[in-house]
Amino acid sequence: MSSIYITDIEAAINYWREKSPSPDGITLAPELRALAEVYALMVFYHEETVQVKGFPPKAMAAWQTWYDTTVDAPCIAICSTSQGDEMCKGCGRTFTEVQNWPAMDPFEKRETWHRITAEGTAWRFNRYADRALEKT
C-alpha cells in the first residue's frame, strides 16, 4: 500500500510556509493547516509514514503541489545498469526502478528517493557530489 513519509510532509510544510507566509504570525494558509493536521497526528503517534488511502484531500492537494516542484529522477547521467549492474552506481536505483520510472506514481518514486537517500551509497551522494563541490 502506498504511503507518504513524514520527511515529505515536513518538506511540503516548509514549501508552503515560504510560498504563503502567515500575515500575522498566527494564521496559517489552508494548505499549511491541512498538512499540519496530518503532521501533528504523525508526531503524536510516532509514525514515520502515513497511508495514502484515507489521506485528507486538502492535504493531498497541498502535498501534490509541493511534489510537482521536486526533482523527478535521481539520475546523474552515469548509469551503470546499462552496463549490466542490477543497482545503478550513479543514482542508487535498481535496474527495474530505472526501467519503470516513467510509469511509477509519485508515491513509488518518493519511496525510492527515501531508500536511496537513506542508503547514501550512490555516487549522487558521495563521489559525484564531492566532485561537484570542488568545482564551485
- pLDDT for 79-120, tens place per residue? 999 899 999 999 999 999 999 999 999 999 999 999 999 999
The answer to whether 16 and 66 are in contact (CB under 8 A) is yes
* pLDDT tens digits, 2-19: 999 999 999 999 999 999
Q: Look at residue 27 and tell me if it is in a domain.
A: yes
Residue 19 resides in a domain: yes
Give the pLDDT confidence score for residue 126 in this predicted structure. 83
The predicted pLDDT at position 8 comes to: 98
| Domain span at 19 | 3-67
Q: Is the residue at 74 inside a domain? A: no
**Which of 67, 98, 117 corresponds to the end of one domain?**
67
pLDDT for res 28: 96
Task: Tell whether 90 and 124 lie within a shared domain.
Answer: yes
Asked if residue 55 and residue 25 are part of one domain, the reply reads: yes
Among the candidates 67, 102, 123, a domain finishes at: 67
pLDDT at 129 over 90: no
Which pTM does this prediction carry?
Answer: 0.88
Question: How many structural domains does the chain have?
Answer: 2
Gap between the Cα atoms of 136 and 129, Å rounded: 11
Same domain, 59 and 103: no
Q: Are residues 63 and 90 in the same domain?
A: no
The residue out of 67, 92, 107 marking a domain boundary is: 67
- Residue 75 in any domain: the answer is no
Q: Is residue 24 part of a domain?
A: yes
Measured distance CA(136)–CA(53) in Å, rounded: 44
Structure confidence at residue 12 (pLDDT): 98
Q: Is there a domain that residue 72 lies in?
A: no
125 with 87, same domain: the answer is: yes
In a domain, 73, yes or no: no
How many Å apart are CA 81 and CA 95, to the nearest integer? 6
Mean pLDDT of 57-74: 97
